[in-house]
């Protein structure tokens, strides 16, 4: 018989449902990996196989991360790449990344996922686009299994090296036929399209400046033939837009449109520099955006027009982006940054006047926004028949003391904390603030040893 679990007495339960209900004294009743009931504790069953009391906690849907490069957790804060913008930053890091090994892919995946889970994330995508020294996406998938995180693995690729006018060194690019062949293999072996799926494969050439037009088109055909999604980087900064105009004679959004890279089965990272026609194209076609505020600030890329995107009806989720340009994988922190950065762009005389982006809108991006971007209707909010992906934050932390007038807003207005409880697919993966699926100190030690070897050659 499937086991039942009762979470009860939360100070506030944030449902993110259609009415955006917040329930004082709320709880959730779960059977297996499925939510059966959501409501005030009195209206839920009185007992279950396991009961967890959440007095003093905010309980909410797990956060969804829509863009990352987990291997980069090995190259956080590398001195030569600390203060450079996108293209110089890449040139400083490519030679280091060329030394990555399968073991490094596995350990960095676990490290990134441990950090994500502790920060409230229950579903993440990752964009892995280089496979040196025998590395395969299989290494990452194997590591992901050990963490308990719900995972969308984007099989990235680069095919245009320096000698062909691209940015990456030739040693990091792959032949286009083998990219497509391997991506198809991964979809056939690992892609699970079912409801509550823990593992999906995404077709994801790295960026328009590192692959050919032909590969972008073939990737779109492959994704449509296999009902998988498409993901890449787009319009990240002014240089990126200039490259698009020079190399392809059109804006990034027009280029994406011309390749079939628009639609509800496509999401692009960044889109900081989408122009008005581009915003209209994305809105009309339901093309998604992974907004990565920390990375955009770190690389001085600019401020993505999130409010304008939402006004166009564009699905927007949040991404922490790779850890060499953030350098953290803290999802709650990313939601806070999205809220704060949006305010820098706020026009007191504009159409939004006078309302700035609030904590709840930022949390919406981090939950239902991300779920929509990843093409999922089974995660992102709490309601009967949704997946049991939930997180709880302990309001008794000193960081929240004095902020309990609005505990939900406190999660974003106060310094971002880590979860005390995380449940993914009905499985408790963090309890009392401790990660149960991995030995965090041992993992950090391994990661540091490998990072030292990677960066110092």
- State the minimum distance, in angstroms, from the CB of residue 301 to Zn ion: 11
Minimum Å distance from CB 87 to Zn ion? 13
Binding to Zn ion (CB under 5 A) within 365-424 occurs at none
Nearer CB in complex with Zn ion: 233/372: 233
Distance CA 185, CA 182 (A): 5
Minimal distance, residue 139 CB to Zn ion, in Å? 19
Residue closer to Zn ion (CB basis): 173 or 269: 269
What distance in Å separates the CA atoms of residue 288 and residue 273, rounded to the nearest whole number?
15
Q: Which is nearer to Zn ion, 129 or 393 (CB)?
A: 129
Of residues 65 and 418, the one with the C-beta less far from Zn ion: 65
Of 9 and 329, nearer to Zn ion (C-beta) is: 329
Other beta carbons within 10 Å of 454: 20
Contact assessment for residue 298 and residue 326, using Cβ atoms and an 8 Å cutoff: yes
Integer Cα distance of 420 and 432 in angstroms: 5
CB of 319 to Zn ion, least distance (A): 7
Which one, 218 or 321, has the nearer CB to Zn ion?
321
Number of residues this chain uses to bind Zn ion (CB under 5 A): 2
- Nearer to Zn ion among residue 54 and residue 292 (C-beta): 292
Cβ proximity to Zn ion: between 90 and 412 the closer is 90
DSSP letter assigned to residue 49:
S
- Give the nearest distance from C-beta 162 to Zn ion in angstroms: 20
d(CA 79, CA 388): 41
Task: Give the SS3 label for residue 10.
Answer: strand
Compare residues 86 and 259 and give the one whose CB is closer to Zn ion.
86
Contact of 168 with 94, CB cutoff 8 Å? yes
Q: Which residue bears the tokens 């009961």?
A: 51
Nearest to 35 by CA among 54, 56, 62: 62
Q: How far is the CB of 273 from Zn ion (least distance, A)?
A: 15
Q: What character string, x for contact with Zn ion (CB under 5 A) and - otherwise, covers 316-335?
A: -----x--------------
Given a contact cutoff of 8 angstroms between Cβ atoms, the answer to whether 124 and 113 are in contact is yes
Exposure pattern of 245-264 as b/e (b: 16+ CB <10 Å)?
eeebeebbbbbbbebbbbbe
CB-nearer residue toward Zn ion: 28 or 269: 269
Nearer to Zn ion, 321 or 378 (CB): 321
Q: How far is the CB of 401 from Zn ion (least distance, A)?
A: 36
Window 240-279: residues binding Zn ion (CB under 5 A) = 269
Is there a contact between 225 and 196 (Cβ–Cβ < 8 Å)?
A: no
Q: Which helix (H) or strand (E) covers residue 234, if one does?
A: strand 229-234
Buried b (16+ CB within 10 A) or exposed e, 202-237: bbbbbbbbbbeeebbebbbebbeebebbbbbbbbbb
Residue 368 Cβ vs Zn ion, minimum distance, rounded to whole Å: 22
- Tell me the backbone φ, ψ of residue 256, rounded to 5 degrees: -60, -45
CA distances from 327 to 6, 142, 231, 235 (A): 36, 24, 21, 21
Residue spans of alpha helices (H) in 249-314: 252-258, 276-285, 293-298, 306-311
Q: Name the one residue in this structure whose structure tokens are 């991995």.
A: 438
**In the complex, least distance from residue 100 CB atom to Zn ion, rounded to whole angstroms:** 16
Closest distance between Zn ion and the C-beta of residue 405, in Å? 37
State in angstroms the smallest separation of the CB of 317 from Zn ion.
14
Residue ranges that bind Zn ion, judged by CB under 5 A:
269, 321
């Amino acid at each position: 018989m499937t086991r039942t679990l009762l979470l009860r007495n939360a100070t506030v339960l944030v449902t993110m449902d259609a009415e955006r209900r917040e329930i004082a004294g709320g709880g959730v009743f779960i059977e297996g990996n499925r939510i059966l009931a959501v409501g005030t504790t009195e209206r839920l069953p009185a007992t279950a196989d396991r009961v967890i009391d959440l007095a003093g906690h905010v309980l909410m849907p797990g956060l969804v991360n829509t863009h990352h490069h987990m291997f980069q957790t090995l190259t956080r804060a590398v001195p030569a790449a600390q203060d450079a913008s996108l293209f110089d930053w890449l040139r400083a890091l490519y030679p280091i990344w060329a030394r990555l090994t399968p073991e490094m892919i596995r350990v960095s995946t676990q490290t990134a996922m441990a950090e994500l889970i502790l920060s409230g994330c229950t579903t993440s995508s990752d964009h892995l686009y280089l496979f040196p020294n025998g590395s395969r996406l299989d290494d990452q998938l194997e590591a992901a299994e050990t963490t308990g995180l719900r995972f969308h693995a984007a099989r990235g690729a680069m095919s245009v090296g320096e000698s062909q006018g691209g940015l990456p060194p030739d040693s990091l690019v792959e032949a286009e036929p083998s990219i497509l062949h391997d991506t198809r293999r991964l979809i056939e072996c690992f892609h699970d399209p079912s409801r509550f799926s823990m593992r999906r494969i995404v077709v994801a050439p790295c960026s328009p400046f590192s692959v050919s037009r032909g590969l972008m088109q073939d990737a779109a055909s492959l994704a449509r033939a296999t009902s998988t999604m498409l993901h890449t980087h787009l319009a990240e900064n002014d240089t990126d837009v200039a490259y698009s105009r020079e190399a392809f004679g059109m804006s990034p959004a027009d280029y994406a449109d011309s390749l079939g890279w628009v639609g509800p089965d496509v999401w692009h990272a960044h889109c900081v520099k989408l122009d008005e026609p581009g915003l209209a194209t994305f809105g009309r076609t339901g093309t998604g955006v992974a907004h990565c505020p920390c990375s955009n600030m770190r690389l001085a890329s600019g401020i993505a027009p999130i409010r304008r995107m939402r006004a166009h009806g564009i699905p927007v989720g949040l991404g922490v982006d790779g850890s060499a340009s953030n350098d953290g994988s803290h999802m709650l922190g990313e939601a806070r940054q999205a809220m704060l950065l949006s305010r820098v762009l706020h026009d007191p005389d504009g159409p939004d006047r006078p309302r700035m982006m609030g904590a709840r809108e930022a949390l919406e991006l981090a939950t239902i926004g991300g779920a929509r971007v990843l093409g999922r209707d089974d995660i992102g909010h709490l309601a009967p028949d949704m997946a049991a992906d939930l997180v709880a934050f302990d309001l008794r932390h000193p960081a929240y003391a004095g902020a309990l007038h609005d505990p939900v807003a406190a999660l974003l207005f106060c310094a971002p904390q880590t979860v005390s409880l995380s449940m993914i697919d009905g499985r408790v993966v963090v309890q009392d603030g401790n990660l149960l699926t991995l030995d965090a100190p041992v993992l950090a030690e391994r990661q540091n040893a490998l990072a030292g070897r990677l960066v110092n050659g």
